[in-house]
Amino acid sequence: MTCGAAPDNDALVGLTEAEAAIRLRRLGLNLLEASPKQHALMAFLGKFRNPLVLILLVAAAISGGTGDFSSFVIIVAMVLVGVVLDFVQEYRAGIAADALKSTVALQVLVIREGKERTIPAAALVPGDLVRLSAGDLIPADGQVVEARDFFVNQALLTGESFPVEKHAGCVTEDAAADGDLPVSAAFMGSSVISGSAILKIDQTGKLTRLGKISHSLIAEAPPTAFETGIKQFGYLIARVTIALAGFVLLVNLALHRPPLESFLFALALAVGLTPELLPMVVSVTLSRGAMRMAKQKVIVKRLSAIHDLGSMDVLCTDKTGTLTEARIELVQHVGIDGEESEDVLLLGALNSYFESGLKSPLDDAILAHALSDKCGDLSGWSKIDEVPFDFERRRVSVLVEHQGKRILVIKGAPEDILARSTQVGTPTGRAPTPYDDTAKKLALDLFDAKSRDGFRLLAVGWKAVAADFSDIEVGDEAGLVFAGFCAFVDPPKASAMPALQAMQTAGIEVKILSGDNELVTRHLCASLGFAVTGLLTGTEIGQMSEEALRGRLAQTNLFCRVTPPQKHRILLALKQRGHTVGFLGDGINDAPSLHAADVGISVDSGADVAKQSAAMILLDKDLSVLANGVIEGRRTFVNILKYVMMGTSSNFGNMLSMAGASLLVPFLPMSPIQILLNNLMYDFSEVPIPLDEVDQDQVLTPRHWDMGFIQRFMVIFGPISSAFDFLTFGLLLYVFKANAALFQTGWFVESLATQTLVIFVIRTRGRPWASRVHPILAATTISIVLLGILIPATPAARWFGLVPLPWHFLAALAAMALVYLTIVELVKGRFFRWSERKAVRPA
C-alpha cells in the first residue's frame, strides 16, 4: 500500500559532506548518552568514593591531627599508589573494551550528495536521508519520504507489540496531538519488520522522543551472574573482616592499649585484609579475555558476558548457517504428483521477486534458479499489493497483475498453505480440482518423502481475483489453489560435527531450535552425528503449560517448527531449571530471546536489532568459533578465581593470627603502617595474574561462582596459614626473645612471604612444577618477597618501624615457607577431590 505521492528523485540528493560536518559539530553525536562518558579526571576522583579508601583517608587525617606526620604521609602515599594502580589498569581496560565495541557499532546507509554510503549511526545529523530495510534499527527521529510496505515495531515508545505500517506524506508533524505517533514518522528505538523506506532525519540524539525520556532508561540492567557472584563474595569478605577487626579492637581496648593506636590498628587491619584490588584484577582479566576472544573472531560487547559464556552449560541455536552452510539451493519445483512443474517455479519466483518485506535465502535461491531456468519474463508482471511475511503466519502474499488479470500468489510453510487450500492446480494447467482426502494424502506423502530425504520445502498457492481487486488482507489468504512445492537443500557445514563434539566435551548441551519441520531437521542431525534424545514441535509447545514444558526439557534437545515467542519460552524455562543458557540468533524476532538469555550471541551479518540485543557478536557464524570463545571465558574466570582463592586463604589466616596475637603479646603484633605496606606489596605481586596460563583440565567444564566452595577454601586453608604465623610467633618470642620491633618485622616478612608464594601452589589444581607459570607473575612474586626481606636492612626501614632480621631467622623462615607450601599442596589435592564430589549440576 502507498500513501501520498512519491518524492521527486531529484530531492533524494541529501546533504553535502560539508553541511553534515557543520551540523555534527553544532549538534553533537547522535547518541542518547544514557551512560555518559566520564572524563578521566572525574573517573580518577571517583576512585576515592570507595568506602575503604575513605576510611583510610580518615585514618590519615586522624594521624596528622594527632601529630603522627610520618603515618599521615605513608597512609596517603599508600592510598595514592593503590588508587593510581587501580585507575590506570581499569582505564586501559575500558579503552580496550570500547575499541572492541566500536567494531560492531550500528551502521546506517545514508544518502549524501546523491550517493549512498555506510556511516556510523552516531554521525547522523538532521537533514540526512537514510535508507532502511527489514531488520534495521531506526537510528533517529524523522519523516518517511518514500515507503514500500514499510512496517515497524515501535513497542518501545507505545507498548503496542503489533507492527505499524508507515506511509510517506500522510500527515503533518502535529497530527499526533492526540497522543498517537504519526504514520508518516518513524522514531529512534523502533525496528523495521518488513518493507523498505527512505527516512529524512529531523532530530538526533537527546532531542529525539527516546532521548527526551532517556532518563527512564538510565536505570541499571539487572545484575548478571558474574556481578552477583562478585557482590556475594564482597559481602562474605566484609562480614568476616568486620567481625574479626571489631574483635581485635575490643581486645586491644580491654587490655588498656592506647585507644587511638588501637583504632588505627583495627582500621588498617580491616583495609589490609580486604582484597581492594579485586575490581582492578577483574577489569584487567576480563578486558584481556575480550582481546583474546577478538582474535578468535568473537567481539565482546559486555565484559561480564565472558564469565557468563564460561558458565554456560546449555546452548540453544538454530541450524541454518550454524550447522549448515546457509548456501541454499532450489533443486526441485514439483506439483502434487511429484513431477517437475514450471508453473510452481513461476509462482514462487513472482512471490519472491515482488516481496518487499523480510527476504530470506530461500527467496534468493528461487530467483537464482528461475533466472537460470528462464521460467518466464517477470517484467510483464506488476505488483498491486502485498501482505508481508511475519513469524506467526509464516507466509507472504503478493497481488500481481499480468495482461489485465490479477492473481494472489502465496508461499510459506507447507502445513499453513495446505490448511488454507480448497483446490489443486496451476494457472496455466487444467482447471483446478478439489483438494479432497485423496489429494491431501498425495500432498502429505510427497511432503514426508521429500523431508526424509533432507529437503526443506516451501508450499506455493494462488487464487484468481477480480480485475479491480487492489487491497489484500490476511483474511484473503483462504480458499487457495495448491500448486506444489519448492524443494531446497542446505548442506551441513564441515566444521559442524567437530564443533558439536567440542561443545559436548566442554560439558555444554546443545539444543537445536528450528523453524523447519522435524523430518528435515532429523535428517541433518543424523548426518552430523547429533543424537536426538527427545523432540518437541511448536504445536506441542503451544499446548503445554510452563510446568509441563520445564518437565520435558531435560529429555529434549530438538525443537522443530518453533516460533520466536516459543524460543523465548524455552530459554526462560531452562533458566528456571538452574541452567546458564546461551542463545545464538541473528533474526529480527530473535531479539527478545537474545535479551532473555544469560549469554545472547548474534553474528556480524545479523539484523541490527539482534546485534543490539546481544552481549557478543560472532564475526563468523560458526559453532567452532563459539567453542573457542567458551574456553576463553572459562580461562578468564579461572584467573579471577586464583586471586579470590589466594586472597581468602591468606587474608582469613592473617585475621585469625592478628586476633590471636593481640591476646598473646603486650604490643601491637604489626603496626598500621606495616599492615598497609604488607598489603600494598602483596597486592602488587598479584597484578600479573590476568596474564597467567590456565591448566587444560580447568576449562573442561562450565565454571560458576560457588560461594560454598570459596567459604570452604577459606575455612580450610586460612587456618593452615595462621598455624605457620603462630609458629613464627613462637620462634620470635621464645627463640629470639624478640622485642616489639623485631616481632613486628619478623611477622611482616613471614606473612608477606607465605601469602605471596602460595600463588605457585593454588594457581593450579595439579602439581605446581607441572604447570607453567607466566614469567611476569613469577618474577613479580619473587621480587616482592626479596624486597620484603631487604627493606628492614635499608634506611627506609625506620619509616615503617622495621629492624634488620638475624640471618638464622631468615634461614628458619625459608624452611618454614617450604614446609607451609608443601602442606598446602598436600591438602589442596584432597580438598579439590572432596569439592568435586560435592558439586551438583542442575538437571
Active site residues: 318
What 3-state DSSP class applies to 194? strand
Cell of 365: 535461491
H or E element, residue 130: strand 129-133
Strands 599-603 and 581-584: parallel
Residue type, 708: G
User: Do residues 414 and 485 touch, judged by C-beta distance below 8 A?
Assistant: yes
Give how far the C-alpha of residue 752 lies from the chain's centroid of Cα atoms, to the nearest Å: 38
Closest CA to 747 of 627, 647, 644, 661: 661
Q: Using CA atoms, how far apart are residues 338 and 329, in angstroms rounded to an integer?
A: 18
Closest CA to 746 of 686, 681, 812, 798: 812
Q: Using CA atoms, how far apart are residues 729 and 746, in angstroms rounded to an integer?
A: 9
DSSP string computed for 606-665: S-HHHHHH-SEEESS--HHHHHHHHHHHHHHHHHHHHHHHHHHHHHHHHHHHHHHHHHHS
Beta-carbon contacts of 423 under 8 Å, excluding residues fewer than 6 positions away, are 432, 433, 434, 435, 480, 481, 482
Identify the residue whose cell numbers are 510496505.
Answer: 149
DSSP string computed for 558-588: EEES--HHHHHHHHHHHHHTT--EEEE--SG
Closest CA to 751 of 803, 688, 692, 676: 676
Beta-carbon contacts of 141 under 8 Å, excluding residues fewer than 6 positions away, are 185, 186, 187, 188, 201, 202, 203, 204, 207, 208, 209, 210
3-state helix, strand, coil in the chain (%, to 5): 55, 15, 30
User: Do residues 164 and 152 touch, judged by C-beta distance below 8 A?
Assistant: yes
Give the other-Cβ count within 10 Å of 186's Cβ: 29
User: Do residues 124 and 136 touch, judged by C-beta distance below 8 A?
Assistant: no
Cell of 357: 518485506
Beta-carbon contacts of 27 under 8 Å, excluding residues fewer than 6 positions away, are 125, 126, 204, 205, 207
Q: What torsion do the CA atoms of 785, 787, 788, 792 make, to the nearest 10 degrees?
A: 150
Q: How far apart are the first and last CA of the chain?
A: 51
User: Do residues 644 and 625 touch, judged by C-beta distance below 8 A?
Assistant: no
Whether the CA torsion 691, 696, 698, 703 is positive or negative: it is positive
User: In angstroms, what CA-CA distances link 825 with 115, 655, 688, 753?
Assistant: 68, 22, 22, 16
Sequence-ordered alpha helix ranges (H) in 665-739 = 672-685, 707-730
What 3-state DSSP class applies to 766? coil
Give how far the C-alpha of residue 655 lies from the chain's centroid of Cα atoms, to the nearest Å: 38
Cell of 770: 607441572
Give how far the C-alpha of residue 551 lies from the chain's centroid of Cα atoms, to the nearest Å: 27
